[in-house]
Structure 1
Amino acid sequence: MPTSSSVLSRLRPLTGPRYGWLAGLPVLALVWVGAASFAAPSVEQALESAGARIGAEASAGSPEPWLRVSAFGRDLIAKGEAPGPAQEDAALRRLAALSGPRLIRSEVSLIGEASPFVWTATRGGGDAIALSGSRPAEIGRAALAALVTADLPATTRLSDEAKAARGAPPGFPAAAAFSLARLRELAKGGTATLTGSVIEIKGEALSVAAYDALRTAFAEPPRGYSFGRLEILPPTVADARFGVERRPDGGLVLTGHVPTEAARAGIRAVAAETAEGAFVDDRTQTARGLPAAVDADALARFSLRLAGLLRQGEVRFADGRVSVSGDALDSQAREEIAGLLRDARPAGVGAGSVAVGASPLSPYKVAIRREADAVVLTGHLPDAAARERLLAALRPRFFRERIVDRTRLAEGAPAGLAEALEAAVPSLATLASGEVAVADSVLTLSGESLYRQSAQRLTDSLPRALPPAWTGRVTVQAPGAPSQSDAETCRSRFASETARPLVFEPGSALLKTGFYPQLDALAALVKACPGLRIAVSGHVDPPGTKPKPATDPAVPQTASIAKNAASKNAAARNGAAKSAVAKNTVTKSVAKDAAPGKAPAPNASKDAKPGAKPGPSKKPETAAKAAAAHGTVATNAVAPVPPATTDGAGTAAPAEDKAETKAAATVASSDLAAPEPDLARQRALAILDYLLAAGVPLDRIVVGEASRPAALGIGFEPRP
């Protein structure tokens, strides 16, 4: 075994002069690492500073520095979009001339034309938005970022990797800002893309409020842009539900959630059928979240079917079950609701609570409606025997039409209901279209009669045919009979029709073509308002107004009418007998034409065509005669006439022919030497003539004084 002295003798040479330098290597390594760690940051910073200086000098004159230089150790990385090859080469040569870099890596590209110009924004997590594609070269990156994020929260973070390019459409910053604002309403992964001037947005809405905000924003695109594909998924909610509320007036209120807009449209259509004309208030929100096994359309239709059996109440789906509460239409409806919940529920839907009562019907209603090819029965009947009795009365009378029975059975019918309906069936059969409606013990027959005589006969016969204690009402229109309006409606319509005054040409009493539509509407209004009459007043021209020259030599103007009138007056003074005969002849003719049921047309010539607009005669002497006739008619209109009587319906009964003829003759005998009417009166007579020709009875018009200011005045006056 070697001794300790021998071991020491072997180790001693390693520490001798030949190997002593190895002991200093660790120290040297530590010194080198320390020097490198202290020197590297300063070299990197120096290189980045030099690169940034070169980038700023190379980008002089551009919207923003296009050359971006970063250092990684002693390596330089150049990025950006150079305006041209010359600028790119110059920048890289200057970087290569630096003494510090070991390697220069170029990622510089050239600005070119982008066609199509595509810019895309993608929603990331939180407030992060990544931009890619192309951005306008004429707008700097920083400037564009400031424009598109002006209305976004300050926490928004843009990661802009879009390349500068030419070819951006006008208004790009506004369209990009609009797209980014919509993108904030979408969940992570949503995208907004501008392809030329078309905006496309895809993604899932963050919430119901966000979905509604997107629908509102998509109503109008930015100026100069249009929408392409807008694929917005509704949000997903944890408590998806659906409900239908039935109101006492028959209206429906829809609440809860629908999965798509298409589903909403279908549900509204079914709700409108269920409401049968009553108002449907849609308060649903678009959202997903129903269980996968539940079909949203089937659930909505089932809920509406249940609501149709309620007089008032609510059908509600929540937590996977359908519940019903409220008042049923009748006792039969209670059984039907229970049966539907038991046997007809959609897949995946459970049965919830049922709290449905059945109160007595008030009022008790039933209706028989005659349509084009069917007779439809709705409402309630007391029992099956009453239903068969009614159908037996209908079949022989309406053997060509389909009989659609939608009646239900319910207690509480008024006594004699079946007898009353049987008595009304023959009357309904005489109508072209109509309805028999019963509310308790009041029966109403309405519609349009085939014949005028039968309409009056029904008014007398139907009430007598009903059982005792029943009330019958008949509101049947005869063919072509104008509908009548109440006094307040007449006044309102009259104010609307006469809002625009009728102003004649200076010096002229001729009707303009533009007057015809207003006068036609006024004539129709007078026919629909038998309890009122109108007052017609002409207008005078403002002082200093000169008459316009005649544009048609065949049409006489006021001056020629006045001249002919003066000649006629002179002739009347020199030959009173001859003028009296002519005047009486005209007056009697007018009085005869003004008889009830016949509308006089003083200006009508022998050659006038049916339906032609009334107007002046083509010959001056004929126009003078017409003016004289007008004067006679106007005087007759305001002369004392026996008061018109009214029938039970408020329709004015015409005066007797003899009374009108006598009044006209009296006026004619006292008006032989009267001067020709002045200009304002001539204008009023022209309007009067047109209305008479349009079928307005003579006793419904009076001529008033000249109106001021220069405009035609027409007003209602209560009939005596």
Structure 2
Amino acid sequence: MRLSHLFLRIGVFVLAAVACTFAARATVAVVEDVSVVAVQEDLVDAEMSWASVLGDGLQIILEGEAPTEAARFRAISTAGRVVDASRVIDNLSVTDTAGIAAPDFAVEVLRGDTGISIIGLIPLGSDRDALDARIARIADGAPVTDLLETADYPVPPTWRAAMDYALRALDLLPRSKISVTQNRVAVTAIADSADQKASFETALARNVPAGVRREVRITAPRPVISPYTTRFTIDGDGARFAACAVDSTETEQQIVEAATAAGFDGRSPCVQALGVPSRTWGQANALAIKAVADIGGGTVTIADTDITLVGLESTDQDTFERVAGVLENALPKVFALTTDLPRPVEATAEGPPTFAATRSPEGGVQLRGRVIDDLANMTVENYAAAKFGAANITMGTRVGGELPQDWGVRVLAGVEVLAQLVNGSVTVTPDLVKVTGNTGNANAPAIVTNLLIDKLGQTAEADLDITYVKELDPAAGLPTPDECLANIATVTEGRKIVFDPGSASLTSDSQPILDDIAETLERCPDLALQIAGYTDSQGGEEMNLALSQSRAEAVLDALRMRRVPIGTFTATGFGEADPIADNDTDEGREENRRIAFSLTQTVEEPTTLEQVESDADTDTESEPESDPAPETTK
């Protein structure tokens, strides 16, 4: 009995031990499962789903590949907040960053009157202190908003050069947006005037880093002309403009065609400007110019909506009245016509009173002739001193004599006109203001004409012999031929001259491109430029050759209508020769349909608009990419 009791007791203890073992294991399994689930949920919530969680008793094992060392540490810390950190086993690895492609580094900088803002991603190896100091210097006390971030990847080989060029552009352009990548700098800016725009473009064309493409788009406001004036004359010296203002290329073409029919064969002097008084400005100008030709010569002045038609002393009275009547009835209703038919004035022994002002190349100004009284004489001297400097004035005037009522105004106007000349003379008589001399301003004749109309009225007679001398123009002659070609590349970056399918008619989308090219070429006189046309390989060879020739000539004509001197330009069609892309694809054929510019003096093979920059600017090696353009089919 005692032995059986002993075995029973031993059996109970064994069963209890087994039960406790199973209970402990079950408890550990439950704790393990709960811990694994809790850690996994926290990792997922922390956006670290790349980490997996395993349980080994009370231990938590983390496995997986962390993207960075910092991410690995965060995963371990997250698990340590759920279970005791001593229970966390780290079996995590870290991704080899050497095999990961670097991000696209990019920066965008905005500069305006309120300061500078810069945003983007730059390499960690960039010199932030130098960058911040340079931007602060450019800002010159204005606020700087810095939203740059960094990434720890190698610095791209052309990144520093691109940023340096972008910051030089930022320093040059007070109102601009500049976008930078490792191989491209895009500049959009506003200039105060056309001269400043050309100066900016010339400066940006210099020292472009190798391997960095540039895209420059600078806009300038058109000038405002008041009064809006055109003056056209036909006399013994031929047909010519003294002034011409237009609001569009179409209006200019309408006026120039009328002038050409009247005998004008020079370069269009028309200035595109704001302030046109009527949408029918071109029509009114064309009718008035035709009237001058119909009466056999004379002058017509259109100032805003007032038109003054003045015949020659030899003009037949009946013809003048008939033509004036036709013109008055044909003009748009908003315009008013005034006519004047002068007759010869009887000569007197003394001749008409005269005032003369001369300016030497050294800057000395001599005034001589008649003035009304001592007060008028003092006024003229002080006015001239304000214009030219008191030390440069020599007075040789005389007081008295019979003088017209408006003589004082005519004399002061003569002094103001002289200020438009670098050297020359102005002679004032009761009926005529004669201006002769040299100037560095190509628009000086129009400025003088507007000045005389404003001071003396629309019927004021003027004889202008003003010669534009490029060497006297501080803004002229700046670009070299290569720089001119580079400037063409700048204004055509990402754009393409397009024609209607199968024809040489330029599309409306091409007009702004041609406007920008014309603005650039106006600063490049005597440029030996070849305009080349190319087609794809579709169609017959002879047809393609003829089509490419017509398209090149259409571009030449479009530039001529935009007042570009084209005497040294040539237009040549090359047909399907020299393809730059595969003619078996639509994209390749689109690339091959192109207009190309080259310097005939230095470049034998024309290049496309997209290639001009690399040939013209030796510092630029890569070709700019073109935005897709409407396909031109034949």
| TM-score w.r.t. length of structure 2 | 0.30
Structure number with greater Rg is 1
